[in-house]
Amino acid sequence: MLDIKWIRDNPAVLDAALASRSAAPQSEALIALDEARRAHLGRLQEAQERRNAASKEIGNAMRAGDSAKAEALKAEVADIKSFIQNGEAEERRLDKELDDALATIPNLPLPEVPKGKDEHDNVEVRRFGSELIETRKANMPPKPREHYELGEAMGLMDFEAAAKLSGSRFTVLKGELARLERAIGQFMLDLHTDEHGYTEVQPPLMVRDDALFGTNQLPKFEDDLFFTPHGETRLGLIPTAEVPLTNLVREQILNQDQLPLRFTALTPCFRSEAGSAGRDTRGMLRQHQFNKVELVSITDADSSLAEHDRMTECAETVLKKLELPFRTVVLCTGDMGFGARKTFDIEVWLPGQNAYREISSCSVCGDFQARRMDARYRVKDEKGTRFVHTLNGSGTAVGRALIGVLENYQNEDGSVTVPDVLRPYMGGKERIGGR
């Protein structure tokens, strides 16, 4: 969340950043809210000062035997007390109004982020596996099948059963295909913990509103979430493990030498896909429930950009080891997520769609989430504290990696070759499905 003091000092910078995100200017409205709050606080302070002075005058009047003046002053003090009590309630209302407005303002893009309106303005930075696309064509049918065609032909991907159980945007995986998805997730976890230095975590899958606010799902994206009643309140099903992993440092003061912290988790994720009507309705590319390996880093202010490059490389390594062709793009200002200062998207090649599709998104958020969580660190021999920087990324989406494996490793007979790195997790199996 942005600081109102910074906004007062930099209104043009804020509005220019919002314009780059195709958002309306907000500085004037925010400063007006802050002015109203400051003016009210000034009136409260004046009233408190007058109450204190009048209380002393009451004593002086009593000692002078001027009971009429003393009674008048007592009446004035009573009126001031009532004003202060009502004024404190108004102060809370004005504070909340300003905080609610600030909570809807997105993060500021870094200067090097390309300006643009949507995904068409994203900039490709590197590509892997172009030669694999060409060499694998020899083993594929002339028109490569999409993942759902392969899965349904094997009898191992059942959308009809899932629809009977839960409705649209759910999938039932069976047999070797269920095992292959499990293998992919296990492989990713082992890679990130054994080689990349992340600490594995098994977090709760339901969280409080405060946690969702901390990682900026609330209030702006409430419609994308699922909630369940919990006593007199509610808990939200996590849309990503970013939420519990990042909130592990909520309301903490760390020492700088504890940083960076690196966490990973393989969890189900739950999203309503409220804004996705009509998009990717076939198959399992866009689901209400899916598995994902998440990467989260907590760093000091000086290390976050280097950590962003490192995290993106860790996610790319997953696809390199799976030998899945991909490209990495830096998102433009208009396509970037609400809490990000800079984002790299990794897009896997899908022969069935003849297109690259997102499989990972790695973002550096600066201190944007830390301010919402009140997560800080202490620098040795320095007074005060600083806000930590947070980063998150998919390492990667397991279901989309399964899609990538199915489409890139498909054979003409309908079978799918198991990638070398997954065979130890598949009991040595080299191929699934087919005649």
Q: Of the listed 50, 51, 182, 286, which one is catalytic?
A: 286
Is 27 annotated among the ligand-binding residues? no
Is 273 annotated among the ligand-binding residues? yes
Is 294 annotated among the ligand-binding residues? yes
390 token code pair: 């947070």
Annotation says 282 is catalytic: no
How far, in Å, are 48, 52, 56, 64 from residue 71 at the CA level? 19, 16, 13, 13
Annotation says 76 is catalytic: no
Q: Of the listed 271, 310, 372, 376, which one is catalytic?
A: 271
Is 360 annotated among the ligand-binding residues? yes
Is 346 annotated among the ligand-binding residues? no
Q: Of the listed 91, 313, 323, 358, which one is catalytic?
A: 358
Neighbouring C-beta atoms of residue 134, cutoff 10 Å: 10
Annotation says 8 is catalytic: no
Annotation says 400 is catalytic: yes
Is 394 annotated among the ligand-binding residues? yes
Helix (H) / strand (E) element for 45: namely helix 27-63
Is 303 annotated among the ligand-binding residues? no
Which burial class, exposed, middle or buried, applies to 377 when counting CB atoms under 10 A from its CB (0-12, 13-18, 19+)? buried
Is 160 annotated among the ligand-binding residues? no
Is 262 annotated among the ligand-binding residues? no
Is 20 annotated among the ligand-binding residues? no
Q: Of the listed 20, 27, 297, 361, which one is catalytic?
A: 361
Q: What is the DSSP letter of 433?
A: S
Residue 26: what are its φ and ψ, rounded to 5°?
A: -130, -10
Annotation says 358 is catalytic: yes
Neighbouring C-beta atoms of residue 37, cutoff 10 Å: 18
Q: Of the listed 341, 372, 376, 400, which one is catalytic?
A: 400
Is 271 annotated among the ligand-binding residues? yes
Q: What is the rounded CA–CA span in Å between residue 108 and residue 222? A: 21
Is 276 annotated among the ligand-binding residues? no
How far, in Å, are 146, 255, 353, 362, 403 from residue 349 at the CA level? 12, 42, 9, 18, 10
Indicate the annotated binding residues for ATP: 271-273, 358-361
What is the set of active-site residues?
Answer: 271, 286, 358, 361, 400
Indicate the annotated binding residues: 240-242, 271-273, 294, 358-361, 394
